[in-house]
Amino acid sequence: MRRVGCTVVICPVVAVIQWAQEIERHTAKGSARVLLYHGARRGSQKYDFDAFDFVVTTYSTIEADYRKHIMPPKIRCDYCNKQFYPEKLKIHLRYYCGPDALRTEKQAKQESKKWADTKGKGKGKRKSGIEEEEEDFEELGSKSRGKSPLHSVRWERIILDEAHFIKDRRCNTARAVFALESEYKWALSGTPLQNRVGELYSLIRFLQIFPYSNYFCKDCDCQILDTNMKKKCDCGHSSVRHFCWWNKYIATPILYGSASFEGRRAMTLLKEKVLKGIVLRRTKIGRAADLALPPKTVTLRRDSFDRNEMEFYEALYTQSCTQFDSYVVAGTLLNNYAHIFDLLTRLRQAVDHPYLVAFSKTAESQEGCKNQQNGPMESQCGICHELAEDVVVTSCDHVFCKTCLMEYSATLGNVSCPSCSNPLTVDLTTENSRRKVPANLKGGKRSGILGRLQSLADFKTSTKIDALVSWITWSAVVCS
């Protein structure tokens, strides 16, 4: 594979412009050449990556290229008309679909009428047995449609920004990233582990850290990064004779709980050996000297509800207690802990403002609101994914902040829409573009609490908001 002395940065769409600006900011003027590999026209151009120092692309772009060029095409089932990848279609035809499927007696009874109906509708017949078709699928699955430009070279360095985007190692995005080759690999993330310890393995697999990312053979010294459970390894032993180091020594023992000896040993191994050897952490304490923030001052202020707020809170509290008691009587308290947490959240929201409960989406759905989809919509910027400010709408009906779109266009020149990759056409000179936003914009989202009010003139403040406003006003006077 051809080597290039270039660094590829993979990041979310919203961070593409920021990466380009930060590279320009922290390098000598004109010394760093940056290529933004993004947009619908990227496939029609030829790239000389050696002419650049940095290539900035997105997770969606690299996943799309991987799916288009490397993954085998989906095949339509002759019986159910659904599409599957070759490996999945083999399983589908062997156990679930078709006259030769090895279904259970119960499944056969359920499917018998269905097959009787479809035979008269021109559905195709299988031309050969299961074994012969599986050989055909093997051949289809092994055929590649060529490599994408990003997968056809060996990079000097790969940098993953927001690396937790590949936390599921089985998703196509993770597979697309794993297929890249480079001399060095970096993974940047503030949350490398979110819900379970298995998510950390995806980053270790990307970094290819030995032995944590490898599979080992029980019968020989074979060491591989990935294993296909349906094929034999190159060492000649079955794939089931290989075990994953991470699962054996980290994930599985921790799954049994920290109360067991194996669980405690796995946690110690993860913390003291694995993480300390591969993670560079920058905590608030470690960077305190650089930040030079003033000391934090906590002031407690106690205010009382007004009459209406007190009545609303007491009614909500009584309703929550009744619901909680029903769980206790039914003996389903532990089965409804998530709903109990929701009840506590509603009580906390009522302290902030009753509108957070009265006009919430949950309350609206409980009332059976029929106009939920036709209600007022607020626009969400397709670049920063925040509530759009100074809204502009493209010809393809996507919404962006005016500032975000101007920076995006200035960086990329003649660009395509960041949301749909169609040619970008928009009038940035319109002053009242906000009033032209259609009610059913692509990418729009349900408005907040204020958007659900009939009129902003009906808005009523709360004790907590009044206290906050008075405190901010007093602080501004003191600081001035």
Domain ranges of the chain: 2-67+145-208, 75-142, 377-446
Distance CA 436, CA 426 (A): 12
Distance CA 264, CA 94 (A): 43
Question: Which backbone phi and psi does 324 adopt, to 5 degrees?
Answer: -65, -45
Q: Do residues 418 and 408 touch, judged by C-beta distance below 8 A?
A: yes
pLDDT, residue 322, reads: 94
Characterize the bridge pairing of strands 215-217 and 181-188: unpaired
Half-sphere exposure of 163 (CA within 13 A, CB side): 23
List beta partners, residue 3. Answer: 154
- Asked, as a colleague might, if the bond just before 211 is cis with ω within 30 of 0, I would say yes
**Is the CA virtual torsion 401, 406, 409, 411 positive or negative?**
negative
Question: Which backbone phi and psi does 105 adopt, to 5 degrees?
Answer: -60, -40
Question: Which residue numbers in the chain have pLDDT < 50?
Answer: 111-142, 369-377, 431-446
State whether residue 147 is helix, strand or coil: coil
pLDDT, residue 117, reads: 45
CA distances from 61 to 36, 39, 85, 86, 177 (A): 11, 8, 21, 24, 11
Regarding the domain delimited by 2-67+145-208, which CATH topology (the fold level of the hierarchy) does it fall under?
Answer: Rossmann fold (3.40.50)
Question: Which backbone phi and psi does 223 adopt, to 5 degrees?
Answer: -135, 120
**Is the CA virtual torsion 11, 12, 16, 20 positive or negative?**
negative
Tokens encoding 80: 């159910």
Q: What's this model's pTM, rounded to 2 decimal places?
A: 0.58
Tally Cβ neighbours within 10 Å of residue 82. 13
Distance CA 358, CA 449 (A): 9
Distance CA 129, CA 270 (A): 49
pLDDT, residue 170, reads: 86
pLDDT, residue 121, reads: 43
CATH classification of 377-446 is 3.90.660.10, yes or no? no
pLDDT, residue 447, reads: 54
68 Cβ contact list (under 8 Å, min separation 6): 43, 145, 148
State whether residue 422 is helix, strand or coil: coil
Nearest Cα to 55, choosing from 148, 157, 152, 147? 157
Distance CA 340, CA 328 (A): 11
**CA 176 centroid distance within chain:** 15
CA distances from 313 to 310, 332, 348, 365, 460 (A): 5, 26, 10, 21, 16
pLDDT, residue 108, reads: 59
**CA 450 centroid distance within chain:** 29
What is the DSSP track for 37-52?
A: --SGGGGGS---GGG-
Tokens encoding 353: 């403002």
